[in-house]
Amino acid sequence: MAFCALTAAAALSVVSCSKQERKNPFMQAYDTPFQIPPFEEIEISDYMPAFEAGVAEARASIDSIVNNPEAPTFANTILAMDNLSPTLERVMSVLMSLTEADATDELTAVSDSILPMYSAFSDELMMNDGLFQRVKALYDRRDSLGLAHDEMRALEHTYRDFTLNGALLSDADKARLKEVNNRLSNLYIKFNKNLLNANNAFEIVVDNEADLAGIPASTVENAATEAKERGKEGKWVFTLHAPSRLPVLQYADNRDLREKMWKGYTGNAQSGDNNNLPVIEEIVKARAEKASIMGFKNFASLMTADKMSGTPEAAEALLLSIWEPAKAKVAQEVAEMQALSDSMGNTFKIEPWDYYYFAEKVRKDKYNLEESEIRPYFAVDSVAKGIFAMAGKLYGVTFEPIADAPKYHPDVKVYEVKDSAGNHVAVFMTDYFTRATKRQGAWMESIKTSYVNADGTEERPIVYNVGNFSKPTADAPSLLTIDEVLTMFHEFGHGLHGMLTKARLKSQSGTSVDRDFVEFPSQFHEHWAFQPEMLTEYAHHYKTGELIPDSLVQKISAAAKHNMGFMTAELVGAALLDLNWGYLNPEGSIDVMAFENSVAEKLGMPAELTFRYRSPYFKHIFGDEGYASGYYTYLWAEVLDADAFEMFQEKGIFDKECAARMKKVLESGGSEDPMVLYENLRGHRPTSDALLRQRGLK
């Protein structure tokens, strides 16, 4: 608490502290450990003034660059553009982070106002002809500038970004593009709001305890707590959030309950006040218009122009090479499930709402393994020790809790990351438990990026991971499923990419790489989760502290490829659906679900499953443009990670030489071409053979 200590002499001339004007936290550099945002001090009323001040600051910087009488140089143009407004960076990093992780009604209202304005400012920046002409002047004589390699990449990417955002368009087309981008920005806001509201509105109320048979006790306890919070004490409420939805589909003996959950999920955001179908129709039309303005034959071609794949056709070819083996595997899995179901005396055909349930039954039957016997060894804090141990063994870093660090929610934990010499590397934050103000899924983001100042001093990053795991109960901590353990390692892989970066330029820091390379480090680190050497580091029973027994480790290893046809097909199917949306140039109205069904029919989608995400809740591709016509990048990156991990399998999963080469990939960020980084790591270009082998499809 701030206070004033006044001497008698000064008392008459000093204004009381209680009357001092409060400072907006965004308006100056944070006076906190490692410049962590002072979340507890930030008020809703701070965002808009800080945003407006930040935009004004950025515009002044742009004017200074454009009107600089000196000839364009890398320093006075490209570097200057990297640092337009510290104020804008501070306010937008917090707003974008909390809009996803802790979106209260008040914050959502502010975000709904600011994001379209921010989109408009981005257009203003990327269509500023004076700025572009300075960039173009540098680009046209780039070979004579004597630039360092990372500087050359930054210049080339800046020029590319300008052209892909309309810099070469006529004034009329620029105006048209701005209108389309503004329309899309508002449509993305509407899509995300509908989805969040639809997720939170859906519930299945159970009032007969017999209907809960088979569902894990911790899930049942959380359902009782949810019911109490919704004014339905004595009953059980299940929601669409993964920690509630998946245990019902996987374990509930009551088939009707499974069907309700599956239909609730796959029918989400398709009707009523939260209907995303008309929103998607407008998004697809606007994207097709945007591609046309930019001179591309379709939106998918526009979105892959700056990716490793180069074209959507190249991405589709990769996907189809995996799709057919995955479908064949699904047929085998369904046959096993049907045979097991028949042997239990059932007379029904396996339906989509039976897939998770009977996949678990087959795992028990084939491998004598039930996920319920695994979960006690994977409390969330134990898995956190595991990811930290992995990072320590591979890259020599440690994670130390920061006492009393600023945080945006009580669930958040904050760590200082240090290297082997004890030097500060980064701040790492975790936020793992589900809540109504958090969007579905799991992700990594940076609140502060890393770069090197002109005087040689380093700014180090602040990185966070977000999950949607079950909350601890009165009797047990949050116990993770196999998929959730993999998710935690996956997002931590993104985190390492952000934390270990040594790129000099802000625009190349951490995960600022090609979209179809960004998933490589995350998926690569998933491979460590269930390695026997890794399990001995962290898999301890939450009650007894007992190390996971070798017999259970062997079962996990034997079952590693279980249900892989299903997991591959639903992922590849979703990626192909995404590309098909990107190919579409509609002339009239669009029946969203009819189009989606036509894609499924064209692919020969097995009747027992559907796309991982159906269009109305496919946030990756309709919530913004980050993965639009780019969901395939998960598979593209898996080709890389499967091939790279085979090197560690050959030499040892903690081999120091291999780890040093992978650390170089993480440190480089976007300062080097991703294929060059990969070939330096692996010694050859990747093929899909390793992926098919590791998924048991070849």
Distance of CA 46 to the CA centre of its chain: 27
In contact, 181 and 532? CB cutoff 8 Å: no
Rounded Cα gap, residues 189 and 624, in angstroms: 8
Question: Which residues are paired to 427 by β-bridges?
Answer: 416, 462
Cα-to-chain-centroid distance, residue 493: 11
Max CA pair span of the chain: 93
Distance, in Å, from the CA atom of 472 to the CA atom of 222, rounded to the nearest integer, reads 9
d(CA 423, CA 403): 18
Distance of CA 266 to the CA centre of its chain: 21
Q: Which residues of 116-132 are buried (b: 16+ CB within 10 A; e: fewer)?
A: bebbebebebbbbeebb
Question: Residue type at 454?
Answer: A
Q: How do 398-401 and 413-418 pair as beta strands?
A: antiparallel
Euclidean distance between CA atoms 395 and 496, whole angstroms: 10
Using the structure block, give the residue that is written with the tokens 């098909």: 580
b/e per residue 663-687 (b: at least 16 CB within 10 A): bebbebbbbbbbeebbeebbeeebe
Token pair listed for 424: 């500060």
Active site residues: 491
286: tokens are 């606007």
Task: Compute and round to an integer the Cα radius of gyration of the chain.
Answer: 26
Question: Do residues 456 and 406 lie in contact, with contact meaning Cβ atoms separated by under 8 Å?
Answer: no
Q: Which of 274, 268, 354 is nearest to 593 (CA)?
A: 268
Q: Classify each residue of 473-509 as buried b or exposed e, where b means 16 or more C-beta atoms within 10 Å of its C-beta.
A: beebbbbbbbebbbbbbbbbbbbbbbbbbbbbbbbbb
- 357 burial (CB, 10 Å; 0-12 / 13-18 / 19+) is buried
Q: In whole angstroms, what is the distance from residue 417 CA to residue 465 CA? A: 14
| SS3 per residue for 512-552 | CCCHHHHHHHHHHHHCCCCCHHHHHHHCECCCCCCECCHHH
DSSP string, 632-665: THHHHHHHHHHHHHHHHHHH-TT-HHHHHHHHHH
User: Which residue do the tokens 């998946």 mark?
Assistant: 246
In terms of Cα–Cα distance, which of 380, 425, 375, 379 is closest to 398?
425
DSSP codes of every residue in 200-261: HH--EEE--GGGGTTS-HHHHHHHHHHHHHTT-TTSEEE-SSHHHHHHHHHH-S-HHHHHHH
Q: Which of 302, 377, 319, 219 is nearest to 570 (CA)?
A: 319
Dump the DSSP string for 349-399: PP-HHHHHHHHHHHHHHHHS--HHHHGGG-BHHHHHHHHHHHHHHHH--EE
